[in-house]
Amino acid sequence: MTAARHRWGPKTAFLNKSERVCARCGLVKVTRHDGGATVISWVEYWRDCQRLAYRNTPPCPGARGAGEP
Ligand SMILES: [Zn+2]
């Protein structure tokens, strides 16, 4: 009950990636997939147009500004 979970919004699909935005803190989870014979996918986390150095999902700090409670 201590780990804050992100509230991911609907997935937005692009050609080689998809994005989901946390409705609480605005974190962007980008799932990239490299098209090719072998499909490779990896996840990046972005906030304020900067890529975060997390390899796993960072905790959700909660609502910022006028977010949901
Ligand atoms: Zn969040």
CA of 37 to the centre of ligand 1 (A): 34
- Cα–Cα distance between 67 and 54 in angstroms, integer? 23
Q: Which pLDDT tens digit goes with each residue over 1-47?
A: 455 899 999 999 999 999 999 999 999 999 998 877 787 899 999 99
Tokens 């605005």 locate to 26
CA of 36 to the centre of ligand 1 (A): 32
CA of 38 to the centre of ligand 1 (A): 31
CA of 58 to the centre of ligand 1 (A): 8
| Residue 46 in tokens | 């972005």
Q: Which pLDDT tens digit goes with each residue over 23-32?
A: 999 999 999 9
Given this model, what pLDDT does residue 22 score? 95
Instruction: Let me know: does 18 contact 11? Beta carbons within 8 Å.
Output: yes
Q: What is the pTM of this model?
A: 0.77
